[in-house]
Structure 1
Amino acid sequence: MLITTWAAPRPEAVGRRDDISRVRKLTLAAGQRLCRQGGRPLCRVYLVRSGILRFERVTTTGERCIVGLAGRRALLGMEAMLGLPSLDEVVACTTVRLFGVACSPDPDTLPLGWLRGRTALLSCHQSLRESRDWGCELTRGGARLRTLRLLNRLVMLAAPAGQHPVIWLPRRDEIAAMLDITLETASRQISALRREGVILTLSPGRATVDLTRLTLTLAAVI
């Protein structure tokens, strides 16, 4: 879920500037959800008036991952204005009071200034999703699984090249820092994948990947 901060408006001020029917107050008890991961888009953008919420997601291996917290003055659910599902499940940690404003992803109902910024917000949404995916997927599980997932991401970033794309291959110390493993472990993982024919080093920083072997090896670990 996209999140930012905003000065909380007074309800009476909102009533003067906009149709009050678009605005509502919402209270969540601890443990109650505001939205589900991947669920249908919200129809409102919410301003947190008090309380704390957490952002949760379930990884591809079924692990629960808490990726952030939000408190007073946080603005939640900007995906509603993009017509996109929530990146995360949003759950109240304490009693939470929210101030919701109805919105629509329909371009015909949006002001010109918003339309000009919509492309930038979509890019921000994509970057946030990739960042949270990285934190959940690449730093959980065993070192072999982490390394294979990293290779898979590097393949997605590479230019299309059939079954043997050329990827940027980070140095061992960079791999260790990305995956939260030791330098020695990173070296052992890359050496093992080279022996198995999953990767073939071409030069410092460049390698080819056998997609068939990568897919089969990743499936065997998961």
Structure 2
Amino acid sequence: MGQPLPIAVTSTQASGTYRPQAEVCASCSVRQFALFGALDEAALAQIHYRIADIRLEPGQTLYSAQDSGSAVFTVRRGVLRMERSSESGERRILRLAGRTDLIGLESILHQTYAADAVACTEVEVCRIPRVLIDELSVAHPGLTRDLMKRWQRALDDADEWLTELARGPARHRMLRLLLKLSEYGEDDGRLWLPTRQEMGAMLDMTFETASRLVSALRREGVLRSVDGRQARLDMDALMVALREDGER
């Protein structure tokens, strides 16, 4: 479980100084992939003051399961994990969310959040109130279609985690996890490396098994640590390992 709020929220108006959030949205590096990517600058100027820029440190919780869903969030930077805990306290990581992903979609149906959203790295998200989406869906019919596409993408991601990362031989699951993590990597090739406990919670394996597999992949040159929480992948070696694993 991540640490509770407070989290850093950047207001569009602070201390009497106006910050043009419309310009922030217009110049955002993920805007064309984000929910409001199709809106022009005039439309952004009408809604900017209702969008909050939130920043989290690793381990902080954006929202918790069963919280009343009042907003969705676009991930601009970093990686979050969607996790749940059983009644016995066992934690399971359901999937990850990274740059351009839209999370908290269940709030659109006035439902509570289905899982805890916890920052794995430094994270920046935009908070979009549910009522704003309701209003814009009337004026911009294409927004509803975009939301449906993003909902389907989230379902596909969840299915992929279930079929590729929670079943099959342990080594295969670990290799598939590394391939998945590469999707959330930095431009310079670095990627966030989960702890062995987190890997266990993602892959349904023990700490000892996760440690053994990571050590083996380091010896094989597939994985190279940069520091405690970052690593680099040799993608060619990873693809060879996946291919050989599939032939066994």
TM-score bracket, shorter-length normalisation: 0.3 to 0.5
Task: Kindly indicate whether structure 1 or structure 2 has the higher relative contact order, using CA contacts under 8 Å at least 6 residues apart.
Answer: 1
- Whichever of the two has the greater Rg, that structure is 1
Give the TM-score normalised by structure 2: 0.42
Give the TM-score normalised by structure 1: 0.47
